[in-house]
Structure 1
């Protein structure tokens, strides 16, 4: 499946990505990559007395996985030029080891480039949902996308 070009995106349209289960390996690798070995992520014993009662996934790992799931949808395959930024992001609830998450995406806005007509900017509102359809994270990401035929 090829990605959607800028002119094919519509403000207000929504879609949901495939899901993905977050594993212990994901958390261990993220801790190693980021250097964040906080016990809330790495020590079951420490977490027994925490507000969560068990280990939680790094918030930034959840954010990263949301980006991967967005690309896994196929809508940006071969058409995304650049990830421009995050305008806002909120952590609503913990993500636990073994949770399966997917992302609901809504197109908030789109704007053609004035200086480069071969591209445009799409603003997306993402909500990471766990297996119980609870919103665990949400926010706005901005992506530059190719315009078809230009």
Structure 2
């Protein structure tokens, strides 16, 4: 193994992505502890999340996990793919849609597809990748989706 191979980052460089490239993350089951911890860290104690009797009377028929909590877990699941490790420069933005409730006991994973690639015109050492991202439940339903925009390093020749 030469020096270049030894020092290469684990993540992918901008030039390694292709439009349509797809990944599926590992899955994770949402637990009671997830709900309690997210309520504590966010300060969101809305009874829809924390009061079973209240939540039973809503359209959901019981407590649901916080939407931003699902997003937070999705970022962690996606990070386990390793494609950004050491090569992502910045998370630039997102659009995000909450389409369905996630409940304690649901198992979710992330499906990520490269939607577009844009090399930087002012800084040739980087480029922007836009990903279509979906949080998918064990039933194949999309609970949340949108686009994540990430700046990546370009591999130096």
Q: How far apart are 1:129 and its partner, in Å? A: 0.3
Give matches, 1:129-144, under 5 Å: 129-144=136-151
In 2, the alpha carbon distance for the partners of 1:21 and 1:83 equals 26
Query: In angstroms, what is the RMSD of aligned CA positions?
Result: 1.3
Question: What do residues 56-96 of structure 1 show as CA deviations (whole Å, max 9, x unaligned)?
Answer: 0101111111111111111111111111111x211111000
Which residue of the partner structure matches residue 98 of structure 1? 105
Distance across 1 between alignment mates of 2:78 and 2:27? 10
Q: How does 1:60-79 map to 2 (within 5 A)?
A: 60-79=68-87
1:114 aligns with 121
SS in 2 for 1:101: strand
How does the TM-score come out when normalised to structure 2? 0.90
Spell out structure 1 runs of 4+ moving beyond 6 A.
none
Distance in 2 (CA, whole Å) between partners of 1:57 and 1:120 is 35
List gaps (5 residues or longer) in structure 2: 1-8
Structure 1 residues without counterparts, runs of 5 or longer: none
Partner of 2:64: 56
TM-score by length of 1: 0.94
Tell me the matched-pair count.
Answer: 149
